[in-house]
Amino acid sequence: MVLKASIITRNYRRNLKIRTLVKMGGKCRCCGITDNIFLTIHHKNKDGGLETKTNRYRHYSRVCNTNDYSDLELLCHNCHFAVTHLGKCIHDI
Ligand SMILES: [Zn+2]
Ligand SMILES: [Zn+2]
């Protein structure tokens, strides 16, 4: 039963993520890549740690359930890493 529950949770989260990505335009704001597996959500105000501290998926639910996500943008992992650590992506230079 534990195994089954974890599969349900995983599917739920995957669906939640995909619904979120579609709602946000489905591509990296910076380089335009559209593969779901590469996409992640960037907190523009750098307060992501706060929001995801108790629930890693809270911002996904927020995008799906409200229209209040102007502080978030869709980036791929490469661009997200660059923006987070360098302040801007190499594509912006
Ligand atoms: Zn990108
Ligand atoms: Zn980029």
DSSP string, 59-88: HHHHHHH-S--TTEEEEEHHHHHHHHHHSS
| pLDDT tens-digit map of 72-83 | 999 999 999 999
DSSP state of 2: H
- Residue 41's H or E segment, with its range, is strand 39-43
The model's confidence at residue 2, banded by pLDDT at 50, 70 and 90, is: low
Ligand 1: centre distance to CA 89 (Å): 8
Note down the domain range covering 79.
2-92
**CA 26 to centroid of ligand 2, rounded, Å:** 15
Mean pLDDT confidence for 58-87: 94
Number of domains in the chain: 1
The predicted-structure confidence for 10-49, as pLDDT tens digits, reads as follows 999 899 999 999 999 999 999 999 999 999 999 998 888 8
Which of residues 6 and 30 earns the better pLDDT score?
A: 30
pTM assigned to the model: 0.84
